[in-house]
Amino acid sequence: MASGLPHSPRQSGCVGLCVPWLKCSLNKAAHHTSDYSSTEVILRRGQAFTISLNFQTTNCCLLFPLAGPSPAESQHTKVIFNLSDEGASGWSATQEHSEHGCMNFTIVSPANAVIGRYKLKLQIDSGNKFSSVLLGHFVLLFNPWCPNDDVYMANEKDRQEYVLNDSGIIFHGVEKYIQQEAWNYGQFEEDILDISLAILDRSLNHRKDPSIDVSNRNNPIYVSRVISAMVNSNDEKGVVEGKWNGKYRSGTNPLHWSGSVTILRKWYRRRYKPVRYGQCWVFAGVMCTVLRSLGIPTRVITNFNSAHDRNINLSIDKYIDISGKTLHLTEDSVWNFHVWNESWFIRRDLGSFYDGWQVLDATPQEVSKGIFQCGPASTKAIKEGDVNLDYDSSFVFAAVNADCVTWIHYSNKRKERIYSNTRKIGKFISTKAVGTNSRVDVTDNYKYPEGSLKERQVYKKALKLLGVSSTGRRTKVTRRRRRFSVARRQNMTVPTGKPTVSGKLNLDASPVIGQDILLTLSLRNLITDFKTIKVKLSASAVLYTRKPKTEILQWSRSIQLGSEEVKEIPFKISYSQYKNALMDDRKILVTALCEVRQGNSLLMEKDILLQDPFLTIKVFGPTVVHKAANVQVTFTNPLSETVTDCVLRAEGSGLLKEQLQINVAQMAPMESSTIEFEIIPYKSGTRQLQVDLVSNHFSDIKGFVMLDVTLVQ
């Protein structure tokens, strides 16, 4: 595509052209594009814009908006129409009131026009000769304000949040301890729109057939799916390279990112070399930036206890040995959380019932039609179990609605099912609220209430559409018969009868990094008979994907329970035990396997997320555009050892044009440190300042503050 600023009269060779030919400030304000840090004219489709022309001749003139390589009228990438006329393509020009020989025209693009960078040409008919003059360039985006655009969003507050808000919150953690992290989307920052268009131009589709690819860019279904493939680097040398194992010495630890701007600029400035490294929230944050910059309303979604069902049978099977240690006998997994996106548009390919929020996932988990991409999948299709509909609705359905089954795998290859949970997957599906930083639960958008008749019907419908007959929920009678028949065939043992013992793992206090973790195992005898229970307890450092990495603790003991007796067994995981094993995720999985004589085995698990100490951020004085403001960040070393090599990073759209990095002096145990720096805001409005303390001694400690920046003091 061509690039550059609108040409001046002398540059274009058209002496009679009025300047400015495209009333930049006026058009940008009307098209809600004033926030873009660009001198280019940026417009939204389906909406009028104005130009001024000064003719020294009254001959007929034609305008040529051109988009992409090899533009053609048949592919809607080349448009020809007379001034004061409406072309067959839907573009039109109307002459308005003129003064001093300067003719004003209002041009309207169709609501389904191809988005991208356009050339605007003027063709003058001089009888037997045509001359063509380049007037300049403009960028055309999707338009959520236009009722006829496929991305139309009726509520203004929603548009402000999902299109114009350049910062946000991404939720993470575990289902019982949900944390929030600030993210700088920065879709209006310098170069970001150019980079977003470059991402489209680097796709496999564009390299295969540029003309067809560009002609399809009128469709948000097509554009969003291409972006979901290009944000990861697996197939197309896209923006971010994922990594979930090992060290990150050859790149950046995914936890160190606080926004999309640095990532996108790095990819662009290094000539499209994938940026190392990302994980799910990074992919989702970057994709939100790109889609919002192109005008598609988009938000970030977090699904807690998210299933990765490799064979799409809606059952997540986990295997452990007799000591409770996880065995890698299946590729299925349950992540503590997984982050994806939703974008808002209509589904002409599926029907109006499926309009609205569409799931998109750029994290490279599974191949879809030969490429690591996912979506758009209608949330309504997922809720109704319509797993046969495009795109990838079966994968997302499993992520929020699969069953969990845990088996003991004995040395003789016999299996015993000891745990089954139909309600564990897809908990507290979360997104940022409109207008505030609070959490909104959107689980009801994805499924009916767990255990309800409607939910069971939808689940069975999904199984049928997937052709799954040997797994899934059934009525009590048929399910038990099926499980016994499967057990006989596969040398499995299926527990029968009511449980005789119950148990629970409890944290005695909130776990904080640098301190011992105190827990209690509570066991209850549910019957009057005396019971002997062999307890095998283990603890491992895990990733947020719940993949165990390093064993921290393991012990076993026998517990006697009298008639209906309850016993509480306290234990601890000391800091010295976990400090060298803990991963950046700060997560520990505690497992207690209880073997009951003459009864069923019992499995208990506890996900522990160690809390970081807090940063305190103070901004002194009022924050005013182009005036310096002082920031003070205070942090206390929580460890019983000296901390060295710390770096404080800060960023925020409208506050800092580039990420700021400050080296921090070493801190003795429990010592506090204060770091000061200066910001000079360059945009008004509500702004988010993010601060991140990075150290080799503990994972990132992050904080943020919201600032109201004014134009004048």
Instruction: Show which residues are catalytic.
Output: 280, 338, 361
Backbone angles phi, psi at 204, to 5 degrees: -60, -40
Comparing CA positions, the residue from 558, 496, 560 lying closest to residue 525 is 560
SS3 content of the chain, % helix, strand, coil (to 5): 20, 40, 40
How deeply is 78 buried, as exposed, middle or buried, from its count of CB atoms within 10 A (0-12, 13-18, 19+)? middle
Q: Residue 264 in contact with residue 271, Cβ under 8 Å? A: no
Secondary structure element (H or E) that encloses residue 288, with its range? helix 280-293
Q: Other C-beta atoms within 10 Å of 608: how many?
A: 23
> Rounded to a whole number, what is the distance in angstroms from the first to the last CA of the chain?
43
CA distances from 159 to 29, 141, 143, 506, 636 (A): 15, 14, 10, 43, 40
Comparing CA positions, the residue from 431, 421, 457 lying closest to residue 297 is 431
Q: Quote the strand ranges of 562-645, DSSP E.
A: 566-573, 587-596, 602-609, 616-620, 629-636
* Tokens of residue 541, six digits: 């450092």
Q: Residue 709 in contact with residue 625, Cβ under 8 Å? A: yes
Q: How many helices (H) and strands (E) does the chain have?
A: 14, 40
* Tokens of residue 297, six digits: 């309303």
Q: Is 40 annotated in some ligand binding site?
A: no
Alpha-helical runs (H) found in 368-504: 379-383, 393-401, 453-466, 476-490
CA 349, 354, 355, 359 dihedral sign is negative
Q: Is 125 annotated in some ligand binding site?
A: no
Q: Is 412 annotated in some ligand binding site?
A: no
Q: Is 401 annotated in some ligand binding site?
A: yes
Going by the annotation, the residues of the binding site for Ca(2+) are 401, 403, 450, 455
